[in-house]
Amino acid sequence: MASQDLFQSPDYYLLDELLTEEHKLIRESVRQWVKASVSPIIEDYCQRAEFPTQLLSGLADAGCFGPFIPQEYGGAGLDYIAYGLMMQELERGDSGIRSTASVQGSLVMFPIFTFGSEEQKKKYLPKLATGELMGCFGLTEPGHGSDPGGMVTHFEDKGSYVLLNGAKMWISNAPFADIAVVWAKDEESRIRGLIVERGMEGFSTPETKGKWSLRASATGELVFDHVKVPKENILPGLEGLKGPLSCLDSARYGIAWGTIGAAMDCYDTALRYAKERVQFDKPIASFQLQQKKLAEMITEITKAQLLNWRLGVLKNEGRASPAQVSMAKRNACFTAVNIAREARQILGGMGITGEYPVMRHMMNLESVITYEGTHDIHLLITGQDITGLSAFK
């Protein structure tokens, strides 16, 4: 059983002064929701490898589903700093809970809003914002992860509908999603986005079992066996890989903030523990080796907070490049997973138990550093951006 959530947010460089009152209110309301609704139950669900579906309505009420979507489609019309702060607070609770919100907002609502027809926007977005409908995003395939352009899932034109065949794997929210935004190739090998609804014949979503990471998040496959998808379910506004990549850009931005939330929780837990735990008649926080760990943690957290904040400003101005988002995602995940590992050591044996959130964060972050572009792939994106030369192939 997890101990009480005593989280206190580190703000070493007084970054709150860069936020508006609205930003701080939004952050506080999500933080309080996480303390009241997520922290008391998350360890138990994680241990049982179950997604706490009862949290979906709370996530929707807290405005965490597509907060940047305009109000006329059910969103809150908030800016990207507000979105980032929400993701930070959710992942401070658990990466799986943040993943659910990221997928719903950035990977399902974003493409429907950006590339969908007016009818599709009106039909799906308001219900996705309230959680009445839940969505998932199908890009990765068994044979194509880092290289999604090679996908083999495809569809044929049959007049009023298309016939979809193929399979996606590692899909967050798949086991309970009502709709899936699926990326597949048409007869000319052009990548298109389709909205596939649960209940369509030949569409199934088997759950992926046996994960040691993101255990409180539901992951599954999407299997399409001659699924008849009405043509009005094809997103009209795009062709090619830039469609799914633009969705990932939005989600990766949220991950950059989110993982630093998890890092802040690990640091806060380790600092409190180090001040209370006595060995050799002294708090372990008084030993230089432990101070080194803690001092490096807060330094890296502060650097990442600044990077995220600046990226948010650029995003609000429409000036953030995908490569800048890649740098922030990579930096934040790497920072967070290292901080989680160091915090685990500071807690000694207690660090491996569910009484503290550290080991859960550490294992979750092993997924987050891999999904939405691996650590290596984001480095290659930076390399290509600064040299003009691709090292992908």
Ligand X SMILES: Cc1cc2nc3c(=O)[nH]c(=O)nc-3n(C[C@H](O)[C@H](O)[C@H](O)COP(=O)(O)OP(=O)(O)OC[C@H]3O[C@@H](n4cnc5c(N)ncnc54)[C@H](O)[C@@H]3O)c2cc1C
Site string for ligand X, 59-98 (x = CB under 6 A): ----------------------------------------
Cα maximum dimension of the chain:
79
Cβ of 206: how many Cβ atoms within 10 Å?
Answer: 13
DSSP string for 274-338: HHH-EETTEEGGGSHHHHHHHHHHHHHHHHHHHHHHHHHHHHHTT---HHHHHHHHHHHHHHHHH
CA distance 214 to 283: 33
Binding mask 162-181 for ligand X (x = CB under 6 A): --------xxx---------
Q: How far is the CB of 139 from ligand X (least distance, A)?
A: 3
Q: Closest separation between CB of residue 27 and ligand X, Å?
A: 26
Q: Which of 130, 370, 382, 384 binds ligand X (CB under 6 A)?
A: 370
CA distance 290 to 292: 5
Which of positions 120-159 make contact with ligand X (CB under 6 A)?
136-140, 145-146
In this chain, which stretch among 74-82, 235-243, 277-285, 376-384 interacts with ligand X, using CB under 6 A? 376-384
Query: Considering only residues 181, 214, 298, 304, which one is a binding residue for ligand X as defined by CB under 6 A?
Result: 214
Compute φ and ψ for 219, nearest 5 degrees: -120, 145
CB of 390 closer than 8 Å to CB of 384:
yes
Angle separating helix axes 288-316 and 242-276, nearest 10 degrees: 150
For ligand X, give the closer residue by CB, 67 or 135.
135
Which token pair is 262?
Answer: 């998890």
Please tell me whether residue 307 binds ligand X under the rule CB under 6 A.
no
**Does 246 participate in binding ligand X (rule CB under 6 A)?**
no
d(CA 51, CA 216): 5
Bridge partners for 195 per DSSP: 181
Would you count residue 103 as binding ligand X (CB under 6 A)? yes
CB of 372 to ligand X, least distance (A): 6
Contact characters 328-367, ligand X, x per CB under 6 A? ---------------------------------------x
- Taking CB under 6 A as the criterion, the residue among 5, 268, 300, 372 binding ligand X is 372
Q: What kind and span of H or E run contains 172?
A: strand 161-172
Residues that bind ligand X (CB under 6 A): 103, 136-140, 145-146, 170-172, 214, 219, 367, 370-372, 374, 376-377, 380, 392
